[in-house]
Amino acid sequence: MTAATVQDQIRELVTSHDVVLFMKGTKQMPQCGFSSRVAGVLNYMGVDYVDVNVLADPEMRQGIKDFSDWPTIPQLYVKGEFVGGCDIVTEMTLSGELDQLFDAKGVRYDRARAEEIRKANA
């Protein structure tokens, strides 16, 4: 696969799905702590998202880093927009900014579950 083809594949994924998480492993079986944390937040909040296991495809693993110009995995995209990695998603979850982003973009999630995460980490 050429670099252009990988970039096209990534572009297609992030524009054709509301929420996409490029991660190590899968949402059912994350393969690193950072991916596990972000998948755990999305799973707990009931967000419908597509998981892309970068460990299964080395070209995709490098391709997503090039696509976003972000050096680490996981990477979260909402409605085609790069949101960030584990630290940013964690911070946004705890501050309520992730809820605001989901509201603004029309992404369904369980608001009560988001509040539970904040209460547990207060």
Binding residues, as ranges, are 32
Q: How far is the C-alpha of 23 from the C-alpha of 45, rounded, in Å?
A: 18
Token pair belonging to 43: 């799973």
**Greatest Cα pair distance in the chain:** 46
Annotated binding-site residue numbers for [2Fe-2S] cluster:
32
Angle between helices 86-95 and 33-44 (to 10 degrees): 30
